[in-house]
Structure 1
Amino acid sequence: MASLLAAHGRGVNLRPLMSRSLAADVASLMPTPWVEDKPFGWMDRSGTLDLPPDVSWLSHLDDVRPLLQAANPDSWAWPGEQGVQRWAGVHNGSTLVATAAEAWSSIDVGFMMGVAVHPSHAGQGLGHRVCQFVASSLLSLYGTCALFVENYNAPAIALYRKLGFTYRDVTTLLPAS
């Protein structure tokens, strides 16, 4: 597998997602130096999940950006970006306190991104509820739900594992500069 990826990665903009161990093998076979990009986690699951109460798809997105800025300013998904399809949320009264998005889904994998819980509402199970809602919805539409997670974010990884997701340590390779 490593030799096949190395042969097809030469001179093109191909950046396949692969396990970190495979990336080391591929990099060693490249004729010019390639380096590992920032590693991260890929998590996925199939099956079904019950829909939790009090979570819904948002009809307006005005409150999503401020919540992301407060709780997840490094989010890969933002309202209005290409490929970001819809946002779910949990409200406390009229205030949006937790959110997650469907973004970049394919024909057989629904993709969850943009998870955020307002810091003043952390530890109340809101992240679990909003992620369970989005994952349940995506599983019913696509059969599989996946997400990226920072490999050092142990609380997020633990939350996704509680929801039945499996973790894989992955990366991409870049030509050395």
Structure 2
Amino acid sequence: MRELTRTAEVVDASADDDLIVWTAQGMKPGVRAWADGDAVVVASPRASRRDRIAVHGDAARAARLVRHALAEVGPSFRPFGDRALLHEVTGAVDGLEIAGGFSWMTTTGLTEGARSGAGWLSPDEDPDVTDLLKTANPDSYAVPGIPEVRRWAGIRDDAGELLAVAADAWSAPTVGLLAGVATAVQARGRGLGERVCRFVTAALLAEHHRASLMVDDANPSALSLYARLGFSRRLVAASGVTGSA
């Protein structure tokens, strides 16, 4: 087992796995990572508002790394990774239980489609974003005012009402993250969510070369939207210390 201290080491150890590299967040202060053979874990505080341990590689070696990581960083951190791997690791580590599943999606290129109508919003427009999220996506991890939520894009109607938003949030140097997607209830079905997501994804690809997102498996309309944009889907799971998961 060895500790990794540089982003390049994490990239090499994980074969540049986008989920692992995103979780490393450029190895900013507080992030720690370890490798053992082809197994890698990265412990990242408040990555998309949760203390996360991304897991990759051989299950037996990964389980040993997860045990070590939890001893180092504490029980608030939640292992997550490819679903089959996480179930094996969780079963091998005493005190862990599966917390749930979701999808991780990534693209390196956009499909063709309309991008008109979307643009970056100014900080003065944050109250409008907050109001839209309250009704259209109240469970959004990305909200205005969080430092890691870098910027918001939106679409307004002719009267100036904000109808759709998406954020560039918790982006890593080579993996941008799309988050905070919301469309006003009365404006759904008009393709506005797809347009604002396409705008933000294009910006993430230009800056980071890859764009990723997390999406609830119980949201088929969102899964379809992201697939239309060119995102590929990975089924992932998360686990946590028994009693906290």
TM-score class, shorter? over 0.9
Q: Which residue of 2 aligns with 1:147?
A: 213
Q: Which residue of 1 aligns with 2:104?
A: 42
Q: Which residue of 2 aligns with 1:126?
A: 192
Q: Which residue of 1 aligns with 2:28?
A: none
* Percent identical: 38
Equivalent position amino acid for 1:25 in 2: E
Q: Which residue of 1 aligns with 2:130?
A: 65
Residue aligned with 2:177, SS: strand
Superposed, which structure 2 residues align to 1:78-89 within 5 Å? Answer: 78-89=143-154
Equivalent position amino acid for 1:102 in 2: D
Q: Is the 8 A contact 2:110 2:230 kept in 1?
A: no
Residue aligned with 1:54, SS: coil
Deviation at 1:49, TM superposition (A): 5.6
Deviation at 1:175, TM superposition (A): 1.9
Q: Which residue of 2 aligns with 1:22?
A: 85
Q: Which residue of 1 aligns with 2:174?
A: 108
Report the more deviating stretch, 160-169 or 16-25. Answer: 16-25
Deviation at 1:123, TM superposition (A): 0.2
Q: Is the 8 A contact 2:109 2:230 kept in 1?
A: no
Q: Is the 8 A contact 1:43 1:165 kept in 2?
A: yes
User: Runs of at least 4 residues of structure 1 off by over 3 A?
Assistant: 13-16, 48-51
Residue aligned with 1:38, SS: strand
Q: Is the 8 A contact 2:142 2:169 kept in 1?
A: yes
1:137-176 CA distances to partner (integer Å, 9 max, x unpaired)? 1011110000010111000000000000011111222122
Matched, 1:33 2:99: no
Q: Is the 8 A contact 1:15 1:173 kept in 2?
A: yes
Which of residues 232, 238, 244 is equivalent to 1:166?
Answer: 232
Q: How many residues align?
A: 176
Residue aligned with 2:145, SS: coil
Residue aligned with 1:21, SS: helix
Q: Which residue of 1 aligns with 2:35?
A: none
Residue aligned with 2:127, SS: coil
Q: Is the 8 A contact 1:99 1:117 kept in 2?
A: yes
Cα distance in 1 between the residues matched to 2:79 and 2:220: 25
Q: Which structure has the higher relative contact order (CA within 8 Å, separation 6+)?
A: 1
The structure with the largest helix share of the pair is 2
TM-score for both structures, normalised by structure 2: 0.69
Cα distance in 2 between the residues matched to 1:141 and 1:20: 29
Equivalent position amino acid for 1:89 in 2: G
Residue aligned with 1:39, SS: strand
